[in-house]
Structure 1
Amino acid sequence: MGKIMAVDYGKKRCGIAVTDDMQIIASGLDTVETKDIFVFLQKYFSQNTVDAIVVGLPTDLKGNLSEIEGDIVQFIEKFKTEYSAVEIHRFDERFTSKMASFFISQSGKSKKKREEKGLIDKVSATIILQNFLEQKQR
């Protein structure tokens, strides 16, 4: 059994989280510049077995898609071309950045560290993945 990876896709950065090989626990992995995402994925996939990815679905409170959805769709299309054997799932990412900021603030990290956007992206990806795993178990 391989890992499941979550991607919190953004215009500048992508937060990345992965599960353990048993697909039980989600852990933050890294934050990658969006322009370098496929270089990162190629290296990671060459060293690890990944069965599926979960890509955040950015919606507002009314369920309308965010403007970045067009970029995410392009990312997914390219991903399908390069990694056709890997399943792709979408998962609602509403409130994950706010939740990530809250969890980071509760962690005792310094103010400078709490405001670091890359950390928020990585924690957001972890929240997306953990929520996906919980829903999958139901």
Structure 2
Amino acid sequence: MARILAIDFGTKRTGLAVTDEMQIIASGLTTVETKLLLQFLKEYTAKETVELFLVGEPKQMDNTPSESETHILPFITKLEKAFPKIPIKRVDERFTSKMAFQTMIDSGLKKNQRKNKALIDEISATLILQSYLYSK
């Protein structure tokens, strides 16, 4: 089997998470500067087989798209062009940043460590991926 890669897209940084080859465990991969994201994904997919990209879909409480969706849609177009053979699915990402922050508290990270926004993005991507795996 191949891996599933989750993307928590941000205008400055993007958190990434990936499954193991059996698609059982979701693990944080890294956080990448968004301007370097496509290049990172090209290098990653040259080394690892990825069968699906999951892209977080930010929504308001009333289920309408959040304003950050206007930044995500152009990225998805670029992603489709760069990787025409890898399908893309969207996953509701409401509350993932809050859950990521709570995960950091629960795991005993000190206040200084919890200010690491890159880590929050990576954990958020992991939560997006984990929710997808649970729904399968």
Q: TM-score band, normalised by the shorter chain?
A: over 0.9
Amino acid at match of 1:25: I
SS at match of 2:85: coil
- Which residue does the alignment assign to 1:132? 132
Find the aligned partners of 1:46 and 1:70 in 2 and give their Cα distance: 29
- Which residue does the alignment assign to 2:99? 99
Find the aligned partners of 1:12 and 1:105 in 2 and give their Cα distance: 24
Indicate the percent of aligned positions where both proteins have the same amino acid.
Answer: 49
- Report deviation, 1:60: 1.2
Q: Number of residue pairs matched?
A: 136
Find the aligned partners of 1:110 and 1:42 in 2 and give their Cα distance: 35
- Tell me the TM-score normalised to structure 1 length: 0.96
Superposed, 1:1-138 pairs within 5 Å as 1-136=1-136
- Computed over aligned residues only, the root mean square deviation of the Cα atoms, in angstroms, reads 0.7
SS at match of 1:18: strand
In structure 2, stretches of 5+ residues that fail to align are: none
- Tell me the TM-score normalised to structure 2 length: 0.98
Find the aligned partners of 1:50 and 1:24 in 2 and give their Cα distance: 14
Find the aligned partners of 2:76 and 2:61 in 1 and give their Cα distance: 24
SS at match of 1:60: coil
- Report deviation, 1:82: 1.0
In structure 1, stretches of 5+ residues that fail to align are: none
Deviation track 1:19-71 (CA, whole Å, cap 9, x = no partner) reads 00001110000000111101110110111000001000000111121111121
Find the aligned partners of 1:112 and 1:31 in 2 and give their Cα distance: 18
| 4+ residue segments displaced more than 4 Å | none
